[in-house]
Amino acid sequence: MQLVIIFGPPAVGKLTVGKELAKLTGFRILHKQNIFDLLDDFFFFSSDHYRRVARGIRKLIIEEACNTSYIKGLIMTYVWSFNDKSDMDFIEELVKVVKDKKGEVYFVELISDLEERLSRLENVDRKAAHKVSSLAELKDFEEGRQFSSDPEYFKDKNYILLNTSELPPDKCALAINKSFQFTKI
């Protein structure tokens, strides 16, 4: 199984690029919002319970996807804070799950100009999906978090960095597909 982890700060275009990549590859999308919608009925968003259960669900889905013959690839979106050790530990857990099943992990880092991200916050769909949708929420969420990666971490990994201010989602997906040479399922 192939796991594509698309990561970046809020409003960078993770899900939009993921959907375009799914069209090209036939991979399934494991987007945080699907899990968050479920958990919102049970736990407070910022609680440890919420985070543990959300991570547990993601890991279980990936483990089970690795055990099927019909799921060839998953695209997971993730807001990865590089100065949060628990985020790094979680990603490493997922990499181990996939590698232990002889799968491969691909990392796609999306960046975008702050101005571009701010313009995306006003999208009505973001509010409906309970995503960060205002400047105040963005500042609060990003305070103390480091979203830009450490190039050393990715030096021996399948990795691509794309700027969604410069490339539209369909072109990002084409660049990802070309870089990693995925075949349509």
pLDDT 10s digits, 14-27: 999 999 999 999 99
pTM: 0.90
The token pair that represents 71 in the structure block: 């799921």
CATH number, domain with residue 15: 3.40.50.300
Which domain covers residue 131, as residue numbers?
Answer: 2-180
- 80, 147 Cβ separation under 8 angstroms: yes
Q: Say if 163 falls within a structural domain.
A: yes
Q: Say if 185 falls within a structural domain.
A: no
Give the Cα separation of 113 and 166 in Å (integer): 9
Q: Using one digit for the tens of pLDDT, what is the confidence trace for 104-135?
A: 999 999 999 988 888 888 775 665 555 776 77
Give the Cα separation of 132 and 139 in Å (integer): 10
Q: Say if 176 falls within a structural domain.
A: yes
Residues of the chain with pLDDT under 70: 124-130, 133, 185
For Cα atoms 46, 159, 110, give the angle at the middle one, nearest 5 degrees: 50
Count of structural domains, the chain? 1
